[in-house]
Structure 1
Amino acid sequence: MKKFLVFIVLISVTSTAISQSYYNEWIDYNKTYYKFKVGATGLYRINNNDLNAIGLANEPAENFQLWRNGKQVPLYTSAVSGPLGANGYLEFWGEKNDGVSDRDLYKIPANQLSNEESLLTDTAALFLTVNPAGNNLRFLATANNIAGNTLAAEPWFMHSARNNFKDRINRGVALVAGSEYVYSSTYDKGEMWSSFDIYPTSPLSINFNNLHIAAGGPAASFNIAVAGGTPNQRDYAAELNNTQITGGKINAFEARIDNNSSVPLSVLSSNNAAVRIVNKSGNVNDRIVSGFIELIYPRQFDFDNAQSFAFSLAASASSKYLEITNFNAGGNAPVLYDLTNVRRYVADLSAPGKTRFVVLPSSAQANLVLVSQNQAVATAITTFQQRIFTDFKVSANQGDYLIITHSSLQIPYSGANQVDQYRAYRSSVPGGSFNAKIYDIDLLVDQFGYGIKKNPMGIRNFLRFARTSFATAPKYAFLIGRGLTYAEYRENEKNPNADRLNLIPTF
């Protein structure tokens, strides 16, 4: 059953440790950062006018640095060095928040079946700063040597057609108590975004169309994440164009990924893929769910009139020649970003109907994205929050009684900040003579949770950091504020009252 959690929680701080980063290793405490949000994967620009609004319009282009989830994000700057100028901009490929950092939330990390969707939020936080010291990550302008090309065009590439189900959050393994299902408070096996329940009488169908199959390529492969939803044993089947390609028994709340790595291309001869997931239980009330389905197949270089298209090329010791058709360039030469090797190619459009590239060798699978340079394709970043992070290795910022709360609870009531009144009490002799300090939850999430909205790792990592880095180990942590389980918050995120009810994220 759903329950509201955490009004005021008192935690005794123990010495338990886990071998993870604190998520703050990327921060330079001598710098000012400008936080902004990205809620969908795509091409983004920060125009010079918007840099001017935060006082950065005259910064040399080579000094800009961008961070997401503790890693630098490569930038393309319209000017290589010096000020960007009136019409200048920073351009980057922005990715929404995914489930990569969610893995640290699981008691057993292997229980996370997919890291493509986050249980917490789709919105990633990025942090822009100025770093005159150099080593700022840039896309390298790379020659597209079509004129001297002698290579044959690549006939196909392996492409992923994938559906990540986001109909509801599957809670994972349950204990059945009478008519109630009781779920663990830990992130558990089978806990994931999933389809709605699949009953024996209502198979789930998903279609992938216009696959542009390359008939001369290798066999396709199929992956599916499945989980049981009741304490029953049942069989299930996954069908592709009316041909069963995987399936088997699912015991009770078991969750796993099933795979078929040799799907004949003849099954895909229609150029479409109709996937059907069938619960074969004899119990009409039995339930299963799917987390995702994925078909990996050889595809022609037909990009379906898209204005941006992400794809991958296998590792290669030699260059590759690409002839791409049916790409919507929007009247300008599009750009190919090599996200793996941090290269930028400008397309050759001299052959009618073809977008051509010669890409350099790659020692690893190269993840690429072709993007139109039509200005309307890039989303403009216009809103920033200034962040000056606190160095908690400085003794003045440390305490042994840690009060973690939300700024809305520090608005004066009856003429006083009630949270600060409590801090003063805990610092007094009757209150225990602690070195009590107040810490803002939103700032902790930015500093110890990659800025991911309502990320409980912000609290967890801060407390771990405090135990190992404070001169005097904290004795208590006091969380003041109401919280919701992440699932309750996520499923009601658009409700205007959700943030008011979820001041302190639960774990």
Structure 2
Amino acid sequence: MKTFLSSILLFFLFSVNQLFAQESASFANSWISYGKPYVKIGITAKGIYKVPFASLPAGFSTVQPSNLQLWHRGKQVAILSTDNNEILFFGVPNDGSSDSVFYQPTSSRLNPYFSMYSDESSYFLTNGETAGLRAEVINKPADTSIPVQTYFRKTNLNVFKDVYSMTTEDPNAPNLRNSFFEFSASKTGPAIIDGKTAAYPFELSGIKKNELEKATVKLLLHGRSSNSRSIEISVGKNEQSLRLVKSLSSAGFGATEYTFELEEGDTDENGKGIFTFKSGSTEDKLKRFSLTYFRISYPASTAIQGKTSYFDLPAVSEPFSRISLSGNFANAKFLDITDPDKPRIIMGKADNLVISRTSGKMANMLVTDETSIVNPAKISNVQFNKQDVNSINYIIVSSENLLQGANSYAAYRSSVNGGSFKTAVVNIKDIYNQFNYGEPSPVAIRNFVNFALSSGLKDKYLLLLGKSVTHNERMVRELPDEVPTVGYPASDILLVEGLAGAPKNVQAIPVGRVSAITNQNVLDYLQKVKDYESNISGEYGWRKEVLHLNGGKSTEEITQLKNELASLEPFVINGSIGGKVTPFAKQQAMAEVESVNITSQVNEGVGLITYFGHGSTIRTDLNMGYITDGDRGYNNAGKYPMMYFNGCGVGNIFSARFNPNPNASDRYALSLDWLLAKNRGSVAIVANSFESFVSPSAKYLQVLYEKMFSDPATVNLSIGKILTAVANQVLTSDNGVYAIANIHQSILQGDPALKLITVSKPDYSLDVNNSIKIYSKSPDKTIGSSDTLKLQIGIFNQGRFLKDDKLPVKITFHFKEGTSSQIETIAAFPYQSTLDIVFPNKNQNIQRVEVQLDPDNILDELNEKNNLAELEINWEIAENEMLYPVETIKDIIPPLLNVKVNNRMIRNEEVLLQNPLLNITVNDDRLIVGDTALVDIFIKPCWNGNCEFEPVNYTAGKYDIQSLTARSFQINYYFDNLVIGKYELLINVRDQSGNSSLQPYRIRFEISEEVSQWSVTSSPNPSSSYIRFEAKTVDFEQIESLEYSVYNLKGIKVGEKIIDKVQADVNEWYWQPDNQPSGLYIYKVTRKGKDSTSKQLTGRILIVK
């Protein structure tokens, strides 16, 4: 921070190839003939290239070579030749001209010899319906009437790419760094310090004698510090014979072009010379400038040296020129490349070439006997297919290495639970190919979005899935595995601002970024989104909790930032969320970092964490630490906050810090760690990508809080749309450079479609441990000596604040001789309220108080299962107190868990039939409401450690829940998807206070279709006290009854049991031979069928007493 004071259910999963149906000359894809196969050819240098037909991808037709077409930057290129089963063409590298889109103004891109992102130019080969464009052949016979041009002009170009002119690795910096390219930003030469002289030698090979005064020099200088300077430009044969050319004025970080002519004596007889540059007479390392390029155009003789020569013919008014070249031209080609997309082949002899001319225009020529064969690795298939983009409303732009995760993300977003969006996954490489002619650049994304919005449907979201590196010194050319942003400081908003009628500097559609490095990162983040949107925690109150943290380096600054945050509290407290703010301020006025412990709050759940203070990529000056720091103990699974950081560089995820290792020098940025951490951390983060300033940031925060918490038009919107509304409102009142920069550099990390912090309905609740208290009549009386008592009920709203709500509260008093009830009504409240009721202390025999909110379920709440609480009163303790309970009577007794399968208790490793019914009964000592959130079921498909337990989801139609008593409930779960195999079941249960059962239920069983149709077992055998008979029946629907009989050896029946409601699987009977002596007994089990048939099984048991 810097101080700045001022007053589906259909799921459309397309590659970007399949998105584009509209074709118009105004879009970068209008050149494409969709449906045809294309071959992409990449080159990085100027020259003639050869592509053998054999190097083309299999299946690409060359049957009609005359129909082959070659395209470059949307224009058809004239092919030199398709003879001899090969393609010859003239190609040029990527000059970065499209970068000008992100310069302000666009004309300020002054270095035409450098691309910010890529050196590779792409050419696309396809088969046309008609003959492709071919190079014009000029074959005019020598005509001595045409005068011979005695010289041509050559160019000596020196481009310097040592360092970025706006580097952040230099202590010199402008007061404000913008994300768009300013000051003609470019790679440039090393810094030239004030008081130092820098020398640059040059050589004009083949210069025509006595023509030096016709040589023209153009150079570009970049300021590298904020001061003004006068730069002395000198030239000479050597440093001892310098001529002062110009004392050139330059200011700040801007670039200055200058052109001048050389004079006789500026070079030696071999055309060698030197330029020198100097500013100031006293050395000052903080004042500096640099040379970006110099270009010398000079008259040269017509003697060609080397295998390749580029030269220019001066403009003429005649229709033809004749030149006579000397040199070795045995296999040379002569090309007119004035229009590099339409080169012309000049036929004839080198010493007498006739060239047709355009009047008044210079001609650019190439003489070469070199042809480069394109590397097969740079030749690839491209299939452009079109599809209607109009209906797509959720676009994921993904790097190629993350497409698996992107597809999973899109599948969720297109599902009902994910919002039923019509999604599209687009590969960034496809966007490059179609919307920037194959050249890697953020320009491609901007062009693509502009096209996607051209249909008129602008209600779309854009999720950027992948990393981007714009820290210039760490950038990798061609942007491998990146989804690029704009500038450093970075801005994703500049990818989409001002498009399709949106105001300048305001995003046309909501945009967010997840800088995932691996597909697992994507899946981990996706799971957090699913957990958040499904509210896996089962409660909403945590979303109303807001933490305010502020740093500062001085007492004044700490106080200022604390007050700025305090001014936002009314938006939270009085807004629709009705939240609570907990502030944390830096305690020591110092520049050093101070640690803050917010672990308990984060783990319990908070909806928003806002930080205002100083910061960096890896820490804040009131430092909460990384979410993955083991010693901090963060564990907030299912309760993921939104985070807003106002601190320099906290949102800088663009500096190639992608190592999760805590000890690595390139460890994840702090904010990225919170976002990507599995099962903890944050679900969305807004933070500045570089610098932040107090005044514009405070204004931005104020509007953000207003839009999130108070403005009825925006409180229910997604975070992406809220940020768009914030940008609109901020820039309406303040269109200054700092406000604009703050908008551009506020990076949303996360899904822009998320609806954060807000809750849709109220959720009135009671704390089962602490909501009910009883007070004596007055402070000088005990409860036992008071004739009346005060009941105080603490009530919470864990949901939305609806001001017009009326909440009925039912209070039931339980006395020894009976009960009495009454209903009170209280007005809605945002966070917490208290209801006081005075009641007579009759006969001092009150035993229990029960409170129920909204007893008739009149109100529509998020959760109806937290509306009940009770207070058991121990009168022997209470009568001597003025407040009862003095301390919270915390529920510490765990619930009891009882589990049956098919309504019976099964043995470990028992064999069961398919589709077993799970019966789970929960009993507690307190009031408990039946809730699946209290019972966790896990299952794994093995009996060993080769598999893991997976949670069982409560899917509608597969379970029912019954309230047995006020303190017990039962869940019946139907396992209808278990295939044949071995399984282990694990069940945990807890009560509403969070007490878990002392021991989870855990048992192994086997699902089989080989269970005997009819079998009987008896155990234990021998036995002294009881015998358990177990009859297994598969075809139970055909059985009328089962009859168990036990006989002694005299044939006398000593026990019997008839079961006329036969169950699937097992039917059991316990026989206790209490009055029978030791000895051998015979049992008989008779199975009577509904078809009047009868079957019997017999066996022996031994009783030993």
User: 8 Å contact 2:167–2:472 — kept in the other structure?
Assistant: no
Shift of 1:464: 0.9
Decide which of 152, 156, 164 is 2:159's aligned counterpart: 164
User: 8 Å contact 2:99–2:443 — kept in the other structure?
Assistant: no
After superposition, what is the alpha-carbon deviation per residue over 1:206-226, rounded to whole angstroms, capped at 9, x for unaligned? Answer: 322424135258632221111
Counterpart CA distance in 2 for 1:118 and 1:344 is: 29
**Who is 1:295 aligned against?**
296
Decide which of 356, 362, 366 is 1:360's aligned counterpart: 356
Counterpart CA distance in 2 for 1:43 and 1:63 is: 20
**Who is 1:254 aligned against?**
254
Using the TM superposition, name which of 363-372 and 438-447 deviates more: 363-372
**Who is 2:184 aligned against?**
190
Identity over aligned pairs, percent: 23
**Who is 2:576 aligned against?**
none
Counterpart CA distance in 1 for 2:466 and 2:279 is: 43
Counterpart CA distance in 2 for 1:284 and 1:196 is: 15
The AA in structure 1 aligned to 2:65 is A
The AA in structure 1 aligned to 2:299 is P
**Who is 2:412 aligned against?**
425
Counterpart CA distance in 2 for 1:297 and 1:209 is: 8
**Who is 1:7 aligned against?**
none
- TM-score (normalizing by structure 1): 0.81
Counterpart CA distance in 2 for 1:333 and 1:160 is: 20
User: 8 Å contact 1:231–1:251 — kept in the other structure?
Assistant: yes
Counterpart CA distance in 2 for 1:269 and 1:318 is: 37
Shift of 1:493: 4.3
Counterpart CA distance in 2 for 1:223 and 1:65 is: 37
Shift of 1:181: 7.5
The AA in structure 1 aligned to 2:356 is L
**Who is 1:311 aligned against?**
312
* Aligned CA distance change for structure 1 residues 223 and 405 (closer, same or farther; 3 Å): same
After superposition, what is the alpha-carbon deviation per residue over 1:68-94, rounded to whole angstroms, capped at 9, x for unaligned? Answer: 222222211154xxxxxxx33221111
**Who is 1:6 aligned against?**
none
Uncovered stretches (5+) of structure 2, i.e. residues with no partner? 1-24, 237-241, 487-1105
Counterpart CA distance in 2 for 1:70 and 1:408 is: 28
- TM-score (normalizing by structure 2): 0.39
**DSSP-derived class of the 1:303 partner:** coil
* Aligned CA distance change for structure 1 residues 488 and 362 (closer, same or farther; 3 Å): same
Decide which of 137, 140, 143 is 2:136's aligned counterpart: 140
Q: Does 1:201 align with 2:182?
A: no
User: 8 Å contact 1:222–1:295 — kept in the other structure?
Assistant: yes
Shift of 1:277: 2.2
Decide which of 98, 118, 126 is 1:121's aligned counterpart: 118
Shift of 1:29: 0.8
**Who is 1:463 aligned against?**
449
Uncovered stretches (5+) of structure 1, i.e. residues with no partner? 1-19, 80-86, 350-354, 412-417
After superposition, what is the alpha-carbon deviation per residue over 1:120-141, rounded to whole angstroms, capped at 9, x for unaligned? Answer: 111111111111223x321112
Counterpart CA distance in 1 for 2:154 and 2:309 is: 15
User: 8 Å contact 2:219–2:293 — kept in the other structure?
Assistant: yes
**DSSP-derived class of the 2:306 partner:** strand
Counterpart CA distance in 2 for 1:346 and 1:486 is: 49
User: 8 Å contact 1:337–1:370 — kept in the other structure?
Assistant: no
Using the TM superposition, name which of 209-218 and 443-452 deviates more: 209-218
Counterpart CA distance in 1 for 2:365 and 2:397 is: 42
Decide which of 81, 98, 102 is 1:101's aligned counterpart: 98
The AA in structure 1 aligned to 2:480 is D
Shift of 1:266: 4.4
**DSSP-derived class of the 2:54 partner:** helix
Decide which of 352, 372, 385 is 2:380's aligned counterpart: 385
* Aligned CA distance change for structure 1 residues 466 and 313 (closer, same or farther; 3 Å): same
Q: Does 1:49 align with 2:54?
A: yes
**Who is 1:264 aligned against?**
263
* RMSD of aligned Cα (Å): 2.9
Residue pairs, 1:397-412, within 5 angstroms: 398-411=391-404
Counterpart CA distance in 1 for 2:429 and 2:354 is: 46
**Who is 2:458 aligned against?**
473
**Who is 1:32 aligned against?**
37
The AA in structure 2 aligned to 1:68 is H
Counterpart CA distance in 2 for 1:22 and 1:279 is: 46
Counterpart CA distance in 2 for 1:276 and 1:180 is: 27
User: 8 Å contact 1:149–1:358 — kept in the other structure?
Assistant: no
**Who is 1:499 aligned against?**
480
* Aligned CA distance change for structure 1 residues 149 and 27 (closer, same or farther; 3 Å): same
The AA in structure 1 aligned to 2:434 is Q
User: 8 Å contact 1:403–1:480 — kept in the other structure?
Assistant: yes
**DSSP-derived class of the 2:437 partner:** coil
Shift of 1:462: 0.8
Q: Does 1:64 align with 2:104?
A: no
* Aligned CA distance change for structure 1 residues 283 and 459 (closer, same or farther; 3 Å): same
Counterpart CA distance in 2 for 1:167 and 1:175 is: 13
**DSSP-derived class of the 1:110 partner:** helix
* Aligned CA distance change for structure 1 residues 218 and 71 (closer, same or farther; 3 Å): farther
The AA in structure 2 aligned to 1:50 is S
**Who is 2:243 aligned against?**
243
The AA in structure 2 aligned to 1:23 is A
Counterpart CA distance in 2 for 1:140 and 1:252 is: 49
Counterpart CA distance in 2 for 1:437 and 1:288 is: 47
**Who is 2:333 aligned against?**
334
User: 8 Å contact 1:174–1:183 — kept in the other structure?
Assistant: no
Counterpart CA distance in 1 for 2:175 and 2:304 is: 46
User: 8 Å contact 1:45–1:92 — kept in the other structure?
Assistant: yes
The AA in structure 2 aligned to 1:472 is L
Decide which of 449, 455, 458 is 2:436's aligned counterpart: 449
Decide which of 84, 108, 111 is 2:108's aligned counterpart: 111
User: 8 Å contact 1:315–1:366 — kept in the other structure?
Assistant: no
Using the TM superposition, name which of 430-439 and 263-272 deviates more: 263-272
**Who is 1:434 aligned against?**
421
Higher relative contact order (CA 8 A, sep 6+): 1
Counterpart CA distance in 2 for 1:93 and 1:264 is: 36
Shift of 1:338: 4.0
User: 8 Å contact 2:43–2:374 — kept in the other structure?
Assistant: no
After superposition, what is the alpha-carbon deviation per residue over 1:441-498, rounded to whole angstroms, capped at 9, x for unaligned? Answer: 1111111121113x111211111111113x63242101111111162454x449xxx7
* Aligned CA distance change for structure 1 residues 98 and 389 (closer, same or farther; 3 Å): same
Counterpart CA distance in 1 for 2:229 and 2:116 is: 27
The AA in structure 2 aligned to 1:44 is Y
Counterpart CA distance in 2 for 1:180 and 1:237 is: 24
Using the TM superposition, name which of 338-347 and 188-197 deviates more: 338-347
The number of residue pairs the alignment matches comes to 451
Shift of 1:310: 4.2
After superposition, what is the alpha-carbon deviation per residue over 1:170-210, rounded to whole angstroms, capped at 9, x for unaligned? Answer: 12899989x99863211112301211111232414132242
Counterpart CA distance in 2 for 1:33 and 1:313 is: 39
Counterpart CA distance in 1 for 2:38 and 2:73 is: 14
**DSSP-derived class of the 1:171 partner:** coil
User: 8 Å contact 1:35–1:386 — kept in the other structure?
Assistant: yes
User: 8 Å contact 1:303–1:324 — kept in the other structure?
Assistant: yes
Which protein shows a greater Rg? 2
Shift of 1:280: 3.0
Using the TM superposition, name which of 303-312 and 439-448 deviates more: 303-312
Residue pairs, 1:206-221, within 5 angstroms: 206-216=201-211, 219-221=214-216
User: 8 Å contact 1:175–1:183 — kept in the other structure?
Assistant: no
User: 8 Å contact 2:53–2:85 — kept in the other structure?
Assistant: yes
* Aligned CA distance change for structure 1 residues 244 and 25 (closer, same or farther; 3 Å): farther
The AA in structure 2 aligned to 1:54 is A
**DSSP-derived class of the 1:278 partner:** strand
User: 8 Å contact 1:237–1:278 — kept in the other structure?
Assistant: yes
